[in-house]
Amino acid sequence: QLQLRESGPGLVKPAETLSLTCTVSGGSIITKNYYWGWIRQAPGKGLEWIGSIYHSGVTYGNPSLKSRVSMSIDTSKNQFSLRLNSLTAADTAVYYCVGDSSPIIAVPPSFDPWGQGTLVTVSS
């Protein structure tokens, strides 16, 4: 059973860059038709999709954040990563890494599984 776990700093200063890593266990990150994504949730707010990456390195992301976001994948470590630059207090949120795939072939994709989430606070 696939499990995901986020790691990274809990506190980052404004204007700096956030780096988060997600480690995938229980399966290979090189799985056909399986993307890997990032979703965030500001305190008391709803869910916002940040972007997703395929094991080939192909990415697609939310235009609202795209200019500040980069994603990468390390197949040798079964990990994928998120970098978000020019941070402001509005980036304070719980960040989740997720699987982004179709549960069965030829049906629409959804987000599953989810990591436990990591709270990132942007503050000086």
Partner 1 sequence: DIQMTQSPSSLSASVGDRVTLTCRASQSVSNYLSWYQQIPGKAPRLLIYAASRLQSGVPSRFSGSGSGTDFTLTISSLQLEDFATYYCQQSYASPRTFGPGTKVEVK
Residues forming contacts to partner 1 in the complex (CB under 8 A) are 46-49, 60-64, 96, 102-103, 107-117
Query: Minimum distance from CB of 114 to partner 1 (Å)?
Result: 4
Q: How far is the CB of 9 from partner 1 (least distance, A)?
A: 19
Instruction: Give least dist CB 76 to partner 1, A.
Output: 26
- In the complex with partner 1, which residue's Cβ is closer, 16 or 111? 111
DSSP state letters, 1-30: --EEEEE--SEE-TTS-EEEEEEEESS-S-
